Every structure is written in C-alpha cells, then in structure tokens.
Structure 1
Amino acid sequence: MMQLDVVREKVVEISGRGAGEVRVVACPYRICPLGAHIDHQGGTVTAMTINYGVLLGFVASDDAEISLQSGQFEGVIRFRVDDLQKPIENPENINWESYARGAVYALQNFGYDLKKGIIGYISGVKGLDSSGLSSSAAVGIAYLMALENVNDLVVSPVDNIQLDNYFALTGCNITYRRRVDIIREFLSAKRLPVLFYVLQAVKMHQVFFVMCILEENLARRAEHYFSEMKRVVKGRDAWARGDLHEFSQLISASGRSSILNYECGSKEMIQLYEILLKAPGVLGARFSGAGFRGCCLAVVESGHAEAAAAFVRAEYEKAQPELVSKIPPDRRVLVCEPGDGARVI
C-alpha cells in the first residue's frame, strides 16, 4: 500500500470521517546544493526539493480543537487554536508537539483568524528526521497549510516561508534557535564588526584589502563566504544551461571550502564526503547541512545510481562500522530525484 493511502486510512480511523473528506498536505524535504553556511549572513543560496518528504493527512475539526497523531512518535496531541500560544523558553521542553503549536503561534501573531482545528496524522520518512534535509521545515509548512486550508485562509508560498521562519526562530525549533544563539554570540565578539562588515557590506574590489586585516581563521571564513557566493551564481547559470558537470564540480568545491575554509564538518561526515567523491558515476558532493551530523548529498549519473549507492554502503561500513550498524539498512543511502513543491492533495 502506498504511504499516501496509509495516511488517508489512518485519518479515517482516528476521525470517524469518510475517506472523501480527508485531505493530505505533501511537503517535500529539500537540499541546498550550493550556498553552504552563507544564508544567515545575507548570502544567496540554491535550493531543491526531493521526492521524499512529510505527509499530513487531516480533516477539519467540528470546533477549535487540534488532535494529532504521528507515524514516528507516540501519543496524541490535543490543544485548541484559540488558546494563546507562547514561545518555548526551555529547549528540553521541545518535542514533536512544538511544531504544531508553533504553526498556530505564527498564524496568531501575524493576525490570522483561526476558528477551526484539525484532526490529523503526520508521517515522514523513517530515519530522516534531523538528517540535514530540512525535515523540521517540511513539518512546519505542512501544519501551516493544513490550518490555512480548514480556515479558508489564502496565504502565499512566500508568506508561509516567513511564517515558518518566524516560529522556528522564536522558540519552536531548537536547531534554528541554537543557530541564532551562535550568531548572537558571534556578534558580541570584538572582531565581529569588521567581519560583519566584510560579509554584508564590502564591495567585491574591497574584499582583498579587508581580508588582509583579518586574522587567518576569520580571513578563511570570509574567503568561503565570497567564493560560495560566486559558486551560487555560476551554479545557477550552469543549471540553466543544463551543464550538470560544471554544476556538480561547484558542489564539490563548496564541500572542500566548507572543510578547509569554514572549518566545519566532523570526521564521520568528512569521510562520507570523500567516499562519495570516489563512487562510480558521482559528479559532485558536499554536506547536506552544516556537516556535524546529518548526511551528505551527491549528484550522480542516473545510470550509475545503484552502483554508486552500493559502493558508498560498502566503503562507509568499512570506515565507520559501529555508526553504520545504528542506521537502518534501507536508510543508509537514498537515491532521490527532484521533487514538487508543497501542496494539498
């Protein structure tokens, strides 16, 4: 049975409604082939959805109550859309319920009138939460779109992105909150006014001069920022020309710069990156996410996809046998294709 049918049947079971009443939000995971570590410093990135993601089946409640179950987490969530939601101050209190509450919180704070809740069942791809594929963003967008649907709200894709960012940055997503905390700490450092100036205000002909006055490690980070900005532009143009080889080489260069200039990545992730570059048919690779956990992405020729996957499985198990043993066999390597945008089915 297809996952979509499973989600629909589960909603019928928990709501007591007919199958014809069930709607499903399909929200894909996404990758960022180019634009590593520069988005939170005013940089431009590329983004692409893949054909894996989150499905949220739902029907409208008879009142303002939200009732949710999950395919990955136990328990039932119940709260009301007319309850005033607040940011979560203690990170230890953040759980899967927080994303649903966060969606309500964002809509409330942007002035949207919510009268109806949802009865829903949400399910993602097992083992891909916290994997560097923006699974938390997919969940957040799914809840927003379901609530908007049952409340007859017309919200543009751009506005939904802003809503998702709003509740992610104000208390419902610990990963993004920690990123903001790090940026704030960085902003308080003595040298940051110079670096911040470099990253957001310097004209390209001034870059060399300003980098010369930075300490070596900060100069390397600035080098990553500006070189990555160039790679994004070149990658956009290569993609438009259909030049997958150049696009992929830029991805690999981004990965190298992340390691050498931005100094991120763990031993385990760097090993995976290096193995991917040796796999048959792989044209380019880099971290998906910051490189401290999660996964790596690679562009591979379609005719070599299975051979590349087999190579990576075997070689990474040799390099990290204990780590690999903790990953379900069917989730160690995923062969993906570009996907569609978020939509209500």
Structure 2
Amino acid sequence: MPDIEDVGGGAAAGAAAETPPTEGESAAEVLVEAVGLRKAHPARGGGAPAEAVAGIDFTVRRGQAFGFLGPNGAGKSTTMRMISCVSPPSGGSLRVLGLDPRHQGALIRARLGSVPQDDTLDTELTVRENLLVYGRYFGLSRAVIRERTWQLLEFARLTDKADEAVEALSGGMRRRLTIARSLVNRPEILLLDEPTTGLDPQARHLLWERLFRLKQEGVTLLLTTHYMDEAEQLCDHIVVMDHGRIVAEGSPAELITRHVTREVLELRLAADDWQQAATVLAGAAERVEMLPDRVLLYADDGEAALAAVHRSEVRPLTALVRRASLEDVFLTLTGRTLVD
C-alpha cells in the first residue's frame, strides 16, 4: 500500500496534546470535542432513565491515537456510537470534524471509518468483492475502488486471499479485512470498537502492527478496549471510564506514574494464609490489594517488598515482581479490575 497518508485523508502525524487548544492552534486540529456529553437509555417499567454516559469532557486532535479504557458497561461503546452518529446524545455538546452529529450526521459519516465489535462482512462474497461493494456506498467510481482495493489488500496482508470467500478466513484475517474496508473512503478518523476481542495472541499482535502503521502515518485513531496492554501499545492519550464517567486521563506513562507505584508484587497464597495476609503484609508495601485470586503489593522496589514478605509469617505459593500497568491504575481508581 502506498503512503497511508492518502488513506487517512492526508493527516500529518502529530504528537499527542493534552491541553486545551491554544490561541494559535487551528480549529481544524480538533477533530472531536465533547463537553458534558451524556447518553441516557429509557428504563424498563417506566422508571428513571439509566445514564450510560454521565457528562464527560474530552478532546481528540488530528494525528492522535485516542483510547477509551474500561470494563464492559463503562460507557465506551456508547460514546463511540455517539461519535459515529448512530446514536444521538441525550445532553451536552458534541462536535465531530467541526460538525453537529444531531443535524449533520450524513456529512460526518462520509468522512469516518468504522470498525465495529462484530464483523459485518458479507460472508458469501469474496474478499475483493467486499471492498468493491463497500466502496460503492461512498459513490466512488469502479476504477477508483479497484485501485484502492489492491492497496488495501496489500496493507491488510490479504492479497493472496483476494478471491477467497470471507467465510473461509480466520478471525484475524476477517478483522484485518474489516479495517481495510473501513479505509476505502480515506476517512479522516478511524473508529475501532474493541478491535481485537476474541483473537488469539498472534492475530492480536499482527493487527496491532497494522494499526501502529496507520498511527505512524498520521491517521487519527479512536479506539475502545478493555485490554490494558492494547491501550499501552497503541494509544498516545487515554481516558479511563467507569460507570459512564471519566475517572482519569493522560498518556499511559503519565497515568501509571500519577496513580500507582513503579512495580507490583503479585502473590498467590494458600487458603490457610489468606485471613492473616492483609494484616501481616500491610507494612511490606505502600499499598496492599486483596483480590479473590491473588494479593497485589504496590511498591517502587518490588524485590524489597518480596524480601519483606519472606521475613513475615506469610509463605506465598508463587511470587512475581512486574512493572505497574494500566490495569493497576484502574484498580486503584475504582476498586475493581478491568475484567470485572
């Protein structure tokens, strides 16, 4: 595939910005802006509406890889549906590409690429036919679609599968084809909702490599995920969501530095040691988190914390010192893990 800049609407690569637009910053650099954004769903039985998104503020700038991190039900996908103009906001303000999704949805959708959680490929068509048909939705000529089809198949590493039926593809190949299809109109923003859910580790890493290439070429990415390693790999800027609200935001490194210690000691304990562990281990680290399946000790020096554990009455079955992650950030902020 030639320059991905062409696929991404000619966006120039830019570093993630985390401050509001300055006086000298062009409004064209702000692609998505939400202020007090809300989404409420009618409650069953006539009760009060349930808020899936409860008044959030965020700004996405051109060239960013912007992630919404959180467990299922946090409001990530609902936010993405509002940005993609398939679900109207219930309150607050939302501007996408300088336009109002409530009244200019068709204009916005023509400039977006969308990768939903579930593949919506036509399994009875070939790989190439899926791209050709999708391109027609945007009014592209057959000659243009044919040219872009080969570029996108090369980008997705599917040139050797061009004439195979989609139903014969693996899950990872289908996800790559879905991403390739979303780029056929050369969108200015690519929306990815849980892009690697259900994929094996090898397929996930290949998909990350393809997305990282887009990011390096300046394509603006918005993605939701509950995989902390995915967010760390791909995102310049992250908002952590819980129960429809943003509980923290920043770059992955900033969030870890701001909210947790540098290292974490993970212990697995025998049932007999579980009751006394919280009291005995309290002085071994800055913070101790008791989870159903393990104990986490947060410390800047994990080996020193492990030495303190060995001096105590607790005898762990296993012990692992690792660096702190975004999952630790979420646990610290909300009291539960990303997979709860």
| TM-score, with length taken from structure 2 | 0.26
Structure showing greater Rg:
2
| TM-score, with length taken from structure 1 | 0.26
Q: Which one has a larger percent helix, Structure 1 or Structure 2?
A: 1
Q: Which one has a larger percent strand, Structure 1 or Structure 2?
A: 2
